[in-house]
Amino acid sequence: MEHVLDSPAWHALNTHNSEFSFGNDKARYFDREVSPFAAIKEVSEENFRLLYNTVDHESTILFMTPVEVDIPSYWKQVASIKGIQMVSDPSTGLEKVAVEIKPLSHEHIPQMLELTKLTNPGPFDSRTIDFGHYVGIFEGDKLAAMAGQRLHIPGHAEISAVCTHPDHTGKGYARQLLLHHLYRIRAAGETPYLHVRADNERAIKVYKSLGFNWRTDMYFYVLRKEKQQ
């Protein structure tokens, strides 16, 4: 039986993040201002076609799968990225959070967009904050680092958009934000997980030091509609 984390976007679209979801019982996608993720119940040419006909915008979508797949030609493959899915080991002991971490709200969106544009932690748009639990570390009134939650499925919560302004790297801010979310998600009785580019060795090292372990490779396809065939 497929594990829910083999297709977290599909399960999030159908469960805890369904309020941002559009589609049907075989193909679904997020409100584009929240997230570009789209998913199908099972990988098949029929479902890829159904997704094509279901998505109602011309922007790119992001499709994820634990195995490489052939993308039908009516989708333009803009890019493909090899990533890693990592899951937190609940037995790992954690140090205390040692810096002030503040909740982020809609008033912080301009700074959040500026920071993610500069650091490129993954897709982030004007309403991504609506996934919830976004927090940040400030230097004065400037957002220096942030992290939040993204794909939320029963029993599991994804930590996402972990990023630090280049002027403030080396201060351990990413680790502090990860600790905050690890404590929060554990307290909710759920398992933290995350995705990272396979070539991001620096981030992977930090995640491993906090008890995250490789679960599976994950392939991300950036797709856009071609003319209907």
Residue owning tokens 């999030």 = 12
Domain ranges of the chain: 4-84+218-225, 86-215
Buried b / exposed e along 120-144 (16+ C-beta atoms within 10 A): ebbbbbebbbbbebbbbbbeeeebb
pLDDT > 70: what percent of the chain?
98
Residue owning tokens 């927090």 = 135
**What pTM does this model have?**
0.95
Report pLDDT digits (tens) over 160-196. Answer: 999 999 999 999 999 999 999 999 999 999 999 999 9
Domains 4-84+218-225 and 86-215 agree in fold:
yes
What is the CATH topology of the domain spanning 86-215? Aminopeptidase (3.40.630)
How confident is the model at residue 1, as a pLDDT? 57
pLDDT > 90: what percent of the chain?
97
Can you point out the beta strands (E) in the chain?
21-23, 27-30, 38-40, 61-65, 75-88, 102-103, 135-139, 142-153, 156-164, 191-197, 212-225
How confident is the model at residue 228, as a pLDDT? 56
How confident is the model at residue 226, as a pLDDT? 79
Average pLDDT, the chain: 96
Which architecture characterizes domain 4-84+218-225 according to CATH? Answer: 3-Layer(aba) Sandwich (3.40)
How confident is the model at residue 227, as a pLDDT? 67
How confident is the model at residue 2, as a pLDDT? 81
Which residues face 63 on adjacent strands? 221
**Cβ contacts of residue 189 below 8 Å, gap of 6+?**
none
